[in-house]
Amino acid sequence: MYLRVVFRYYFGIMYQIRQATLQDIPLIHTMANVAFTATYRDILSAGQLEYMLDWMYSPENLRKQMAEEGHVYYVAEKEGVPAGYVSIQPEAENVYHLQKIYVLPVYQGSGLGKLLFVRAMEAIRERHPDDPCEMRLNVNRENEKALRFYEHMGMHKLTEGDFPIGNGYFMSDYIMTVNL
């Protein structure tokens, strides 16, 4: 079992990962505008990128996710400087969805993505210490870097589809899973 430690040391970089509160919404919104855009600017059209940023990361939608939809966000910082975030959400009995996991470009390759992924698994295990659980996520089929990362972390493809998200746009994703 992974240690439940607030501070983690990896590749010589000290990160703190903490559960976000509603007061962190502006911070998550700001990080998303950088990390999400950097991730998808070569995969999605500018129109879809703008639509999805508003759909997932407007302050109003972040508040709704956290206050009404059960999303639990964690924010990673290095020496007090924001570096990335992850969120999980209950999907069904003993099934959680890793909704978001993004690392700011300057911290990519430092091991922070792995730490955030592990924190998501720990958070699910904390909620289900004695029950087997499953963590799922959607990943864009063209995001090869993310696909390799998730496979390296033990996930496998469960299914795929083109999921309508509104305004004529679709998320063309694999749904991946790992048993916890």
In a domain, 16, yes or no: yes
pLDDT digit of tens for each residue in the chain (180 aa)?
Answer: 333 333 444 455 589 999 999 999 999 999 999 999 999 999 999 999 999 999 999 999 999 999 999 999 999 999 999 999 999 999 998 999 999 999 999 999 999 999 999 999 999 999 888 889 999 999 999 999 999 999 999 999 999 999 999 999 999 999 999 999
CA distance 43 to 83: 23
Examine residue 33 and state whether it is found in any structural domain, yes or no: yes
Total domain count, the chain: 1
- Alpha-carbon gap, residue 51 to 67, rounded angstroms: 22
Q: Are 153 and 114 in contact (CB under 8 A)?
A: yes
pLDDT of residue 12: 54
Residue 84 within a domain: yes
pLDDT of amino acid 4: 36
What CATH number has the domain bearing residue 156? Answer: 3.40.630.30
Q: Which residue range is the domain that position 159 belongs to? A: 7-179
Dist. CA 157–CA 108, nearest whole Å: 24
> What is the distance, to the nearest Å, from the Cα of residue 79 to the centroid of all Cα atoms in its chain?
21
Q: What is the pLDDT of residue 128?
A: 85
Q: Is residue 1 part of a domain?
A: no
